[in-house]
A and B are shown apart, each in its own frame.
Chain A
Amino acid sequence: MPEPVIGCLALQGCVDRHRPHIEAAGASFKAVKTAKQFDEIDAFILPGGESTTMLKLIENFDLWDILSQQFAAKPVWGICAGSILLAEIVENPAQKSFGVLPVTAIRNGYGRQLESEIIAVDGYDVSFIRAPILTKPASRVEILHTRNGEPTWIRDGKNMASTFHPELTFDFPSPMHSMFVEIVKKTATA
């Protein structure tokens, strides 16, 4: 089987930092912006950035329905802003979302930048940057890490979300990237 191609939605945000992690985990990396490019990848990363900005650009370029279909068919991992876009419900304030993951996202749940910090998750340093809080996951959702009792890293079948950034750490690959590439490979053979 050829290496799967993991695409990172590159309308705005932290994109290129994923490349070394994805390649070290045994997959190819591609930054994608257009519907044509979406057809050339096996899975999506929705990167960290500003969820409102990404939302406006997705709507402005009429990509909403196309991405909904893509997410139904392919594994997707939402990181920070990306996890907000994937949630079923968004609060603080409410905004449109794809509803791919049965969970509620509270934007800037820990506060502003002064509350941003680097924390070890399973022994690996990750960055929480104006991070959301995920809450009320459906019972089927697998909780992979929690902070103050709320999930920060979850998996639901082929989809994954993390409220933190493993891509800003220079040990390649991160455990999160490894797990996602595993999920993508299993989904491809299933």
Chain B
Amino acid sequence: MGENVINIKTGLAEMLKGGVIMDVVTAEQAKVAEDAGAVAVMALERVPSDIRKAGGVARMSPPELIEEIMAASSIPVMAKCRIGHFAEAQILQHIGVDYIDESEVLTPADEEYHINKHDFKVPFVCGAKNLGEALRRIGEGAALIRSKGEPGTGNIVEAVRHMRDINNDIKRVISADDAELMTMARDMGAPFELLRIVKREGRLPVPLFSAGGIATPADAALCMQLGADTVFVGSGIFKSDNPEKFAKAIVKATAHFDDPAIVLEASKELGGVAMRGTEISELDEPMKMANRGW
């Protein structure tokens, strides 16, 4: 197909805009997510906060668990593979998941190379902390970017940092003249041709979602106002007091992120307290997931 149409992999991401993608670990949770209005679910063995607690090596979820969640869902199902673990990705594609997340939440399999995502028919989402990282992943074939945040912490500070960094980098690129672009490409480690597209379009060439620490309706509204097209909520829903109500309230706040009256309403419908959360400085360096990948 010509250049004249958005790639079919990114096309699905366009359809997920304005929504909430929820981490689920069972088919029952997938039903709760779908009934609450999730646009997609992420099928996992453990949510990020439990991955932190469990320690050890975090790998792709068991295929039979992913298949069970797919059978229970009418909405798209995503699943995670380890950074650089293209054999796990091949399995996930063979299962038929709708999106693969090459994710820093799992223990990286390759510290040098990410997956060459052009080799796959299934679309990939990858995390990024700044524009250079986002464009490297897009260069490798990612169809969707999410800000990394710090998963499993219930602490929004890193997601905000990464959204702001990506936005600020984009502003710099827009105001740069053509001669400066190559130097920026060198400094950011970003593919030059993709930087030219960012300058021309004034935004990333694929949708930008937010992830990593979203725990309340207000967190979701904050990320959306910082320019996210959609939010991923991991531990924030099923580690809260009342997953059903939290899920519904976060969907509501995301749809009307720019209307404080509705975000207020959603914030009063939680039926319990949010996950406890973790201060980032309490994390040991190896457990800072955002620093995985490059």
Contact = CB atoms under 8 A, between A and B. Distances in A.
Contacts of A56: 35-37, 248, 251
Which one of A50, A118, A171 has the highest number of Cβ atoms from chain B below 10 Å of its Cβ?
A: A50
B40 interface: yes
A12 B19 contact: yes
Contacts of B6: 127, 168-169
Given A52-B34, A113-B123, A17 B14 contact: yes
Given A33-B256, A125-B1, A53 B8 contact: no
Contact of A125 (B4, B15, B38): B4
On chain B, which size bracket covers the interface? 35 or more
B16 interface: yes
B255 interface: yes
A129 B18 contact: no
A49 B123 contact: no
* The 5 nearest A-B residue pairs measured at CB: A56-B37, A113-B98, A168-B6, A12-B18, A169-B5
Contacts of B139: none
Given A52-B34, A57-B251, A113-B99, A125 B2 contact: yes
Interface string B62-87: 00000000000011100000000000
Given A125-B1, A171-B4, A50 B40 contact: yes
Contacts of A93: 74
A189 interface: no
A95 B93 CA distance: 29
A57 B8 contact: no
Contacts of B251: 53, 56-57
B14 A168 contact: yes
A21 interface: no
Interface in B194-213: none
Contact of A114 (B5, B16, B39, B122): B122
A127 B256 contact: no
A21 to B, nearest CB: 13
B74 A107 contact: yes
A13 interface: yes
A152 interface: no
A48 B5 CA distance: 16
Which one of A14, A92, A108, A113 has the highest number of Cβ atoms from chain B below 10 Å of its Cβ?
A: A113
Interface of B: 1-2, 4-6, 8, 11-12, 14-19, 34-40, 74-76, 93, 96-99, 121-123, 248, 251-252, 255-256
A90 B17 CA distance: 23
A49 B4 contact: no
8 contacts: A12-B255, A33-B255, A49-B19, A50-B76, A53-B38, A60-B252, A113-B12, A170-B4
A80 B4 contact: no
Contacts of A15: 17-18
Interface residues of A, number: 38
Given A113-B12, A113-B76, A13 B17 contact: yes
Given A56-B36, A93-B74, A118 B19 contact: no
B1 A118 contact: yes
Contacts of B5: 118, 125, 127, 168-170
B18 A116 contact: no
Nearest to B123: A113
Contacts of A36: none
Contacts of A10: 18
B165 to A, nearest CB: 24
Contacts of B256: 33
A165 interface: yes
A147 interface: no
A27 interface: no
A49 B255 contact: no
B38 A129 contact: no
A168 B3 CA distance: 11
A41 interface: no
Contacts of B74: 52, 92-93, 107-108
A52 B37 contact: yes
A164 to B, nearest CB: 10
